[in-house]
Amino acid sequence: MTADLKPQPAASGAAEVRLWLRLLACTNEIEGELRRRLRQSFDVTLPRFDFMAQLDRAPEGLTMGQISRSMMVTNGNVTGIAERLAAEGLIERRTSPDDKRTVRVTLTEAGRRAFAGIAAVHHDWVADLFDGLGDDERDQLANLLARLKTSVTKHTEDRPA
């Protein structure tokens, strides 16, 4: 490859890197803004909000493993977040009677109420931040991201179980 023609002299992957940096910058900017607003308005962190969001969609509760998988973070990570949410009385942890290794986590009534209040405002914030994009553009972006995800997974899914 790259015989005596040198189609792309010193630019192997340069366009992709620029695109990647733009994607990263965009995501970080939105994430940072949401994090700041969550902290200022509700004194809650993004990970804790995310943790509660998983539980809110599962009234019967979730195990720690299910939560870490749906949040796409490591097991050890969610332990600390759960610890703090439990200390605030927003979640409850109960070891399952049929498998004493697993922990069933549920939102407390206070947790459910707190989450509902935050989620409503959070939706509005996200809608605001994205309001410069038309419906068609949002669809396009969603489709391109889906294609990108597929492309990435192709190179990723073969990791040690």
Contact status: 37 vs DNA (CB under 7 A) = no
Tokens at residue 104, please?
A: 């069933």
- Best CA proximity match to 48, nearest among 57, 38, 37: 38
- Tell me the site size for a second copy, rule CB under 8 A: 51
- Per the listing, tokens 């969550």 go with 38
Residue window 67-106: x/- pattern of binding to a second copy, with contact defined by CB under 8 A: -----x----------------------------------
Residue window 31-50: x/- pattern of binding to a second copy, with contact defined by CB under 8 A: x-x-----------------
Min separation Cβ 27 and DNA, Å: 12
**Residue 104 · residue 63 · CB < 8 Å:** yes
Distance, in Å, from the CA atom of 66 to the CA atom of 51, rounded to the nearest integer, reads 11
**Residue 64 · residue 75 · CB < 8 Å:** yes
Residue window 75-114: x/- pattern of binding to DNA, with contact defined by CB under 7 A: xxxxxxxx-x--------x----xxxxxx-----------
CA angle 155, 157, 161 (to 5 degrees): 140
Nearest to DNA of 6, 57 (CB atom): 57
Which residue type is seen at 143? Answer: N
Contact status: 56 vs a second copy (CB under 8 A) = no
Residues near DNA, by CB under 7 A: 32, 35-36, 39, 45-48, 63-66, 72-82, 84, 93, 98-103
